[in-house]
Amino acid sequence: MDTQVKQPNKLDSASSIGQMMADSFADIKRQAAEGKKVVWANGLPGFLLARGADMPVLHAEGFIAGLAARGQEKPLQDAAEAFGLLPDACSYARSFIGLARIAKGHFQLESSMHESICKMPKPDLYINVPGGGCATGRLWGDSVAAICDIPAFHLEPRFCWDESDREHNIADFVRQERELIALLESVTGQPYNWDRLKEVLVEVKKATSLRQEIMKLCQHVPAPASFFDMAASIGLVCHLVGVPGTGDLLQKMKEEVEHRISQGIGCVPVEKYRLYWDGILTWSRLGVLARKFAALDACLVAGPYTHLLFLPRADMIDPERPLQSIAYNVCDTLANYDYSHRVKAVADFCQEYSIDGLVMSETQTCRGINGQSFALMDGVARKLGLPAITIGGDSCDPRFYSDAQVDTRLQALLETIEARKKIRQVQAD
């Protein structure tokens, strides 16, 4: 098989996202230089409450993922490990803690190039909004807050242990949001700007609705855009959430996707297999993986990280009810539910996207998002008979990735899918 010929067909419209992200980071530096107080945040977009306080926000995962995708994360991780943080710790967290040490001047970077890439203004407030209530977010936020000597606020979505907890959990989250608003007022010394928040939510509603429409269009066979395209554009609903222009860019993406459908153009040259990705992306190998899948005639169509985690409830976004809108989008994510709910949701998802097999990402410094991987594989196999593999790697630490392992396991998955298709064919005949 000629892996050099079959390349993924990336969305052209998504190419400007990188510049939007870079402009955003530069803007944070500019605003900090002008005396604006800065928020650092991690997790789900509950931090967009800071936009109502007119505070620039540096989103951890958005910043770190971009660096990792460009192979530029090492100085941050070196800074964290020099501090004594073990490499087993979540690499998102490790990188952001390293960034905090650099911002505080506790770790000297080796070059001016590193300075321009890896140095961001010290925060004045930390907001933790853990996906699925991941307690690691709290530890990470507290670490950054201790290093920078700033307050940390933990928005803690309650885990939906029983479905009957749901409405209480959302009400509880709204209560926490009100506390955060009070803290934002205290930090800025200004009354909270509710009108500004509503404006932000108008943009968020537009962007997330469009993104979900695009993702739904990818149920088409062949898929006009892939999971990799959605990953490359995830910044529009996390770090850049609510920023003017995100809706317009997503509109262009949707038009491009619709055009592809009308022309029968797929996101991979040959779409023989449609696959699902569970867990966090291996950011440092995004391009490598995209090419690998394309070369094997496999389209990685969708996965919860891009489709069901960041603002999955566009339908519940109402600019007139901002706190409830955010609460639904933080509490009602798949990661906040137990395995039985998740198995059903993922099985339905696989049917909607005509999935042939599951690729479960073993993000080796994350014990949150993949804690239910085996339950999911087992549950989906029982419901739909879909085969699954796990592949090792990590979100932002390339040391955990093994190319050979991915090749072997991916090949095995596709052979299994092929074999099962033949069996079904024989049974049908």
Question: How many CB atoms are located within 10 Å of the residue 9 CB?
Answer: 19
Rounded Cα distance, 154 and 84, in Å: 24
Q: What is the DSSP string of 398-424?
A: GGG--HHHHHHHHHHHHHHHHHHHHHH
- Closest distance of CB 155 from another protein, Å: 9
For another protein, the closer of residues 134 and 207 by Cβ is 134
- Closest distance of CB 158 from another protein, Å: 6
CB 26 within 8 A of CB 32: no
- Closest distance of CB 95 from another protein, Å: 14
| Phi, psi torsion values for 216, nearest 5 degrees | -65, -35
Please tell me the chain's helix, strand, coil percentages from 3-state DSSP, rounded to the nearest 5. 60, 10, 30
- Closest distance of CB 171 from another protein, Å: 12
SS3 5: coil
For another protein, the closer of residues 249 and 376 by Cβ is 376
- Closest distance of CB 300 from another protein, Å: 21
- Closest distance of CB 160 from another protein, Å: 10
Token pair for 65: 């993922």
For another protein, the closer of residues 145 and 215 by Cβ is 145
- Closest distance of CB 92 from another protein, Å: 12
H/E stretch holding 274: strand 273-278
- Closest distance of CB 123 from another protein, Å: 15
CB 391 within 8 A of CB 377: no
By CB under 8 A, name the binding residues for another protein: 83-86, 88-90, 93, 132-136, 138-143, 145-146, 151-152, 154, 156, 158-159, 161, 175-176, 179, 338-340, 362, 364-365, 367-368, 370-375, 390
- Closest distance of CB 200 from another protein, Å: 24
Terminal alpha carbon distance of the chain: 30
For another protein, the closer of residues 151 and 319 by Cβ is 151
For another protein, the closer of residues 80 and 117 by Cβ is 80
Partners of 26 in the beta sheet? none
| Phi, psi torsion values for 126, nearest 5 degrees | -115, 130
CB 358 within 8 A of CB 364: no
CB 154 within 8 A of CB 180: no
CB 65 within 8 A of CB 395: yes
For another protein, the closer of residues 214 and 376 by Cβ is 376
Peptide bond between residue 222 and the one before it cis (omega within 30 degrees of 0): yes
Rounded Cα distance, 169 and 156, in Å: 10
- 3-state SS string for 295-353: HCCEEEEECHHHHHHCCCCHHHCCCCCHHHHHHHHHHCCHHHECHHHHHHHHHHHHHHC
Question: How many CB atoms are located within 10 Å of the residue 384 CB?
Answer: 14
For another protein, the closer of residues 183 and 286 by Cβ is 183
For another protein, the closer of residues 154 and 291 by Cβ is 154
- Closest distance of CB 146 from another protein, Å: 6
For another protein, the closer of residues 159 and 319 by Cβ is 159
For another protein, the closer of residues 259 and 382 by Cβ is 382
SS3 201: helix
